[in-house]
Amino acid sequence: MKIYQSLFFVAILFVFQSVSSSVVAQRYTLEDSKVHFFSSAPMEDIEANNKDCKGVIDTKTNAFSFRIPIKSFVFPSSLMQQHFNENYMESEKYPNATFKGNIEGNYDLKTDGTYDVVAVGDLEIHGKKQARKIPSQIIVKNGKASIKSTFDVKLEDHDVEIPSIMFKKIAETIKVDMNSDLKLYE
Amino acid sequence: MNKNYLLLTVFLLLFLTCFSSQFTLAQDDLDALLDEQEKENPKTEYTTGAYKSTRLINLHTTEKVAAGALDFRISHRFGTLDGGGYEFFGLDQATLRLGFEYGISDRIMIGVGRNSFQKTYDGLFKTDLLRQSTGEKNMPISMTYVGTVAINTLKANAGQDKTFANRLTYTNQIILSKKFSEGFSFLLAPSWVHRNLVPTAEDKNDLYALGLGGRIKLTRRTSFNAEYVYRVPISNSLLFDDNHNSLSVGFDIETGGHVFQLHLTNSRSMIEKGFIAETGGDWLDGGIHFGFNITREFVLRKSKFN
């Protein structure tokens, strides 16, 4: 009798094991990501593109981590790019902007549809962290998933200084667009 | 029976904790994955901002005017400090150079200027040979070529043979530079000055020199600079002996579109052939000039932007 009971438990254990091993972690990485920022200023608009954003989302735990190399922002003028890296972002000291946290809301990367979610976490730019809730959209179309988001960044939130003797006035807030495909990571 | 149950339950718990550890994938794992991706796709990162400006003081740095940007450069060197109060410590006289420099691409820059010292027009060409970088391409130093032509347009005195060719001086330089850290950069500048005409037979047409200099960053927008140019001696040459090695110290202050460079130097001339070969002032004898360079950059051409 006891042996039966033990066997029964062992069987249950096996079932557990098979179930749990079938639910391995699902990690998706960013592919073909585009980050673009725009800032409207009286003298001239300032904008830049970045195609080097890296990131990963774990659909099991809903944890995510994004990383944007600051030096990869491309401006229409190399002089602007130089000033952006040298004077404002201090890219040597703070090479990456990062955003880490959890995705809140329901989504299913296997089912076509548009899912409104909120990315909740710490946005770190210029070495300074800010807790943010950034509404984003996960779009699944013909089985292909992508994520997109638009949000504002206040320069003072991240201690980005604008020198008072600047010739060009720069807007205090910049608008960031991000768009990326999601690819299952094997 | 109870004991067995207990055992089994313990087993169960053990197993479950084993499996559930798979579920708790921490943030660290994600970051590790990103690190891995970065390693797999290494990028070359070129060192930028080794110096605030295209000039350290007189010497060229490895910096160039950005592609599509025009740099308007106004340089002044006043008279010597030893003129005393009567000469207002040199401020009563000034030599001036006005120059325009343009970035054809990220690697090539050209420039023209006019120096009131000997009424000289000059043209310059500057291009990168090597760029300091880390990552996929690892290059410890930057190497830049600077070539200049100068035309002295002073009126010829009686008996002087001042054909156009005789008025020309060429300089060729290689600037070797390394940005050692965010705060410290150093450069070496082997230089060759060729003068088409020299006053006497003993004076050689060619002068070789080695410039060295560096900068220490004081704040994000200011730095302290110093430079020295050693000339390889030419024996029995009056032209050589009458002049000195150029030594300069100064500060850079940058304000976005402008760079202000304030300095003390024993050179009056602001172009290569002048400060390398014709530096008259002697630091030990009050032959020091106060001077400044001011630059203003204008963006003329923007690249296509999607």
pLDDT tens-digit series, residues A33-47:
999 999 887 767 888
Which pLDDT does position B60 carry in this prediction? 96
CA distance A171 to A42: 8
Which pLDDT does position B302 carry in this prediction? 79
Nearest Cα neighbor of A119 from A43, A44, A47, A56 is: A56
CA distance B44 to A183: 25
Contact in structure between B221 and A87 (CB atoms under 8 Å) = yes
Structure tokens at B56: 């350290």
pTM: 0.80
CA distance B173 to B168: 17
Structure tokens at B210: 């080695």
Which letter does DSSP use for residue B62 in this model? Answer: S
Q: Do B68 and A78 touch (CB under 8 A)?
A: yes
Residue A82's pLDDT band (cuts 50, 70, 90): confident
pLDDT tens-digit series, residues A3-27:
666 656 555 555 555 444 444 568 9
pLDDT tens-digit series, residues B230-257:
999 998 888 999 999 999 999 999 876 6
From B253's Cα to the closest Cα of chain A, the distance in A is 12
Mean pLDDT score, A62-87:
88
Amino acid at A112: D
DSSP result, A46-99: EEEEE---EEEEETTT-EEEEEEEGGG-B-SSHHHHHHIIIIIS-TTT--EEEE
Q: Do A168 and B182 touch (CB under 8 A)?
A: no
Structure tokens at A122: 């710490």
Phi, psi of B132 (to 5 degrees): -60, 130
Contact in structure between B302 and B70 (CB atoms under 8 Å) = no
Give yes or no for residue A148 having a pLDDT over 70.
Answer: yes
Which pLDDT does position B20 carry in this prediction? 47
Which pLDDT does position A20 carry in this prediction? 47
Which pLDDT does position A1 carry in this prediction? 58
Contact in structure between A149 and A119 (CB atoms under 8 Å) = yes
Report the percent of chain A where pLDDT is more than 90: 55
Q: Give Dmax (Cα) for chain A.
A: 89
Structure tokens at A138: 């996960």
Using left for φ > 0, alpha for ψ between -120 and 50, and beta otherwise, residue B8 falls in alpha
Q: Tell me whether residue A99 is exposed, middle or buried, using C-beta atoms within 10 angstroms of its C-beta: 0 to 12, 13 to 18, 19 or more.
A: buried
Flag whether residue B10 sits within 8 Å of chain A, measured between CB atoms: no
Mapped onto helix, strand or coil, the DSSP state of residue B69 is: strand
User: Which portions of chain B are predicted below pLDDT 70?
Assistant: 1-26, 256-257, 305-306
CA distance B275 to A72: 39
Which carries the bigger pLDDT value, residue A2 or residue B237?
B237
Flag whether residue B183 sits within 8 Å of chain A, measured between CB atoms: no
Instruction: Please name the residue ranges forming H helices in chain B.
Output: 2-20, 27-40, 238-241, 272-277
Q: Do B33 and A185 touch (CB under 8 A)?
A: yes
Nearest Cα neighbor of B301 from B41, B15, B103 is: B103
Mapped onto helix, strand or coil, the DSSP state of residue A162 is: coil
Interface of B with A in 83-142 (CB under 8 A): 103, 106
Which letter does DSSP use for residue B289 in this model? Answer: E
- In this structure, the strands spanning B206-217 and B184-195 are antiparallel
Contact in structure between B37 and A67 (CB atoms under 8 Å) = no
Nearest Cα neighbor of B234 from B216, B195, B208 is: B208
- In this structure, the strands spanning A27-39 and A63-69 are unpaired
From A111's Cα to the closest Cα of chain B, the distance in A is 22
Which letter does DSSP use for residue B300 in this model? Answer: -
Contact in structure between B175 and B144 (CB atoms under 8 Å) = yes
Which pLDDT does position B6 carry in this prediction? 61
Contact in structure between B223 and B215 (CB atoms under 8 Å) = yes
- Low-confidence winner among A147-156, A169-178, B54-63 (lowest mean pLDDT): A169-178
Give yes or no for residue A164 having a pLDDT over 80.
Answer: no
Q: Tell me whether residue B213 is exposed, middle or buried, using C-beta atoms within 10 angstroms of its C-beta: 0 to 12, 13 to 18, 19 or more.
A: buried
Residue A76's pLDDT band (cuts 50, 70, 90): confident
Q: Do B12 and A12 touch (CB under 8 A)?
A: yes
Which letter does DSSP use for residue B30 in this model? Answer: H
Which pLDDT does position B44 carry in this prediction? 86
Which letter does DSSP use for residue B56 in this model? Answer: S
Flag whether residue B8 sits within 8 Å of chain A, measured between CB atoms: yes
Flag whether residue B219 sits within 8 Å of chain A, measured between CB atoms: no
Mapped onto helix, strand or coil, the DSSP state of residue A5 is: helix
Residue in B16, B31, B302 nearest the CB of A76? B302
Residue in B22, B24, B297 nearest the CB of A79? B297
